[in-house]
Amino acid sequence: MLDLTTIQAVSLDLDDTLWPVWPAIERAEKALDGWLCRHAPMAAALFSNPAARHEMREHVLRSRPELKFNLSALRREAIRLALYRSEEDPLLAEEAFNVFFDERNRVTLFDDVLLALEFLSGRFPLVALSNGNADIQRIGLGRYFRASINAQQFGVGKPDPRIFHAAAGAVGLEPARVLHVGDDATLDVLGALNCDMQTVWVNRADHVWPHDVMPHETVTTLTELCDLFPR
């Protein structure tokens, strides 16, 4: 059970907690493919092959291991490599990536999100904490959050305890004073539990809990999360 008396801030995962991520990624991939077909058709053909795309991503990771958590730079450099191998202009990579990134941030929020953010941000400082590269300012949610920390900026991702400590530090608190909320049982819940945070698992799809240690609470919507707090 949650100890509500100790909670002074809330950290929130983004992808698949506030919106479904894969529809946005699929739209972004389609937008990128369309742009490449118009401006770099040979690279488009190469990049449309899943095996080739995976090989280029792995090639970039081998040559630039520091990009492991920087999903934006990793994708940008994979596009650049495709352009280079196709003997097309590598300088097009920046514009091509921007086409992808604009669409990646055109997300469709779950129905419960805006009211929940209004409620929670009126009671606690909120920190966005993500392994992805979503931009809460572009998405239009920046006003609800005191801080935003993601793996590509910080250099490590969940479940590494350092990124949870950074989220707590962003609002000047010890981790035990922060409630972490997210959909991933391992990255979000176990990672936060290992930092002495309280946790809420957002289980929208009725998954079975896979670990021995349990979250403090499980909810199916952010509305249920808000209902845990006195009005």
- Return d(Cα 112, Cα 132) in angstroms, integer: 21
* Predicted local confidence at residue 172, as pLDDT: 98
Residue 198 sits at φ, ψ, to 5 deg, of -80, 155
Give residue-wise pLDDT tens across range 154-204.
999 999 999 999 999 999 999 999 999 999 999 999 999 999 999 999 999
Q: What percent of the chain has pLDDT over 90?
A: 96
Q: Does the domain formed by 4-19+109-227 have CATH 3.40.50.1000?
A: yes
4-19+109-227 and 22-104 in the same fold:
no
Coil, helix or strand at residue 19: strand
Is 54 within 8 Å of 47 (Cβ atoms)?
no
Tell me what pLDDT residue 47 has: 87
1 — pLDDT class (breaks 50, 70, 90)? confident
Tell me the torsion sign for CA atoms 212, 228, 108, 133: negative
Q: Where are the beta strands (DSSP E) in 84-197?
A: 126-130, 147-150, 178-182
Where exactly are the structural domains of the chain?
Answer: 4-19+109-227, 22-104
Q: How many CA atoms lie within 13 A of 162 on its CB side?
A: 7
Strand partners, 179: 10, 198
Q: Are strands 178-182 and 9-12 parallel, antiparallel or unpaired?
A: parallel
CB 15 within 8 A of CB 134: yes
Answer yes or no: pTM beyond 0.85.
yes
From the list 167, 118, 127, 165, the residue with the least C-alpha distance to 146 is: 127
User: For 81-121, how does the pLDDT look when each residue is reduced to its tens digit (9 = 90+)?
Assistant: 999 999 999 999 999 999 999 999 999 999 999 999 999 99
* CA atoms of 75 and 53, how far apart (whole Å): 10
CATH of domain 22-104: 1.20.120.1600
Q: Is 78 helix (H, G, I), strand (E, B) or coil?
A: helix
Residue 196, Ramachandran bin (φ over 0: left; ψ between -120 and 50: alpha; else beta): left
pLDDT in tens, 130-143: 999 999 999 999 99
